[in-house]
Amino acid sequence: MRGITRETVVELVDRKMLWLFGGLTLITLFIVYLSGNIRGEIAIESSGPADLDTILGTPRYFAAAVYGRVLWLLVFLAVLGTAGLVPRMLERGRAEYYLSKPNSRAAFLASRFLAIWIVYGLLVAVCAGAVAVAGAIVHETSIGGVVFLFVVHLLIMLVWLSITVTVGLLSRSATVALMAAFSVWVAQFLLSFHDRMGGLVTSDVARTTVKLLYYVLPKTSQMAELAVNFAAGRPVETWLPLWSSLLFAGALFSAALWIFKRRDY
């Protein structure tokens, strides 16, 4: 595990991913600095000065939503940047090298998966943490649930990695892995409106299919919304998006382990 983690860090540096994350973080920090000059009031002709709380919600919710967006963007970049790691590992010559190790295939793939998640997850946490600290200093405020916000987005990253790693394992293509992840993202976003969609279709079969897909596929958009509400101190209606998405990731990666142990490379 230590050797695979070290190799993942070397790949991170060699592929210039640090520059991408660092540049994005610096731009975000600059925006945070500029946001300190925004006035706390907005003039509305019809009703006079209006507090930002009325327009944007509570400051705590607004801060949680902004941090959530920053985390989402960093997770997106991490998933985008790691989609090719497993397909590259299975290239001719490299596959023979890795699979000649005494460790079992399942242990090797699990170590590779965890190494990617830990290394890039730490990078996401450090970059987002810098933005959170800067925001707290500039606006002299903080959100109590920021740690939970970070944890949930790292779990969202885990869900997406389970998709890109599994599809990359099957297709040996980073492009196909990213297309699969994007397709699932679109599907889960649309299915978040499954109650409304169910009212629009007349077929019982179609209605049942929509509901089944909603419960089976991950719900990362709703996970992000759940995290923001919890961080802002708002009530969480259901924890279904969190635990069902983690179950999906666990089942999918278990299938990847089973396939990897039996496939001839």
Residue 98 · residue 111 · CB < 8 Å: no
Average pLDDT over residues 50-73: 70
Work out the end-to-end distance of the chain between its first and last CA atoms, rounded to an integer number of angstroms.
Answer: 22
Q: Is the pLDDT of residue 39 over 80?
A: no
Every domain of the chain and the residues it spans: 2-36+50-262
What's the pLDDT at 199?
Answer: 64
Q: Is the pLDDT of residue 143 over 70?
A: no
The one-letter code for the residue type at 68 is: G
Q: Is the pLDDT of residue 259 over 60?
A: yes
Least confidently predicted of 50-54, 118-122, 168-172:
50-54
Residue 163 · residue 252 · CB < 8 Å: yes
Q: Which residue has the tokens 């731009």?
A: 27
DSSP per-residue codes, 19-61: HHHHHHHHHHHHHHHHHTTS-SEEEETTTEEEEHHHHH--HHH
Q: How many CA atoms lie within 13 A of 5 on its CB side?
A: 10
Instruction: Kindly report, residue by residue over 199-215, the tens digit of the pLDDT.
Output: 666 677 777 888 888 89
pTM summary value: 0.86
What's the pLDDT at 216?
Answer: 92
Q: Is the pLDDT of residue 34 over 80?
A: yes
